[in-house]
Amino acid sequence: MQNDGRLTDECLTLSVNSAAKMLGISRNLAYDLARRGELPGTIKLGQKRLVVSRIAIERLLQGDGNKAESIPKLRV
């Protein structure tokens, strides 16, 4: 989001598959980690849909894994 509150063209969430590609892990492993709550920034939408916070993955890749873990897990 920009400072004035408008959304940018960049999505704030990723699919689990996209997060897996960024992390260099398999899709199956990413889904397993997400279901167990071990993939930082995982957000459950409804009964089945899982998405991942782009910020959490970027922080994890920058070596700030502890900060990524502080992002709350949301269930919508």
Q: Which two tokens stand for residue 12?
A: 């704030």
Rounded average pLDDT over 3-24? 84
Contact 51, 15 (CB under 8 A): yes
Whole-model pTM: value is 0.71
- Structure confidence at residue 1 (pLDDT): 44
Q: What is the DSSP letter of 51?
A: E
Per-residue pLDDT of 30-70, as tens digits, reads 999 999 999 999 999 999 999 999 999 999 999 865 554 55
**Closest to 32 in 3D by CA, of 20, 45, 46, 22:** 20
- Structure confidence at residue 63 (pLDDT): 87
Reported as type and span, the H/E element at residue 44 is: strand 42-45
